[in-house]
Amino acid sequence: MPITKQNIQRHELIGLNAEISAAKNKCNLGLKGKIVNETYHTLQIKTKNKVKRLFKKNITLKITLPSKEKVEINGEEIEKRPWDRLKIKK
DSSP string, 3-38: --TTTGGGS--TT-EEEEEEESSGGGTT-EEEEEEE
The 10s digit of each residue's pLDDT in 17-74 is: 999 999 999 999 999 999 999 998 999 999 999 999 999 999 999 999 999 999 999 9
pLDDT of residue 9: 79
pLDDT grade, residue 8 (50/70/90)? confident
pLDDT of residue 22: 95
pLDDT of residue 2: 81
CATH 2.30.30.210 is held by the domain 8-77? yes
pLDDT of residue 86: 67
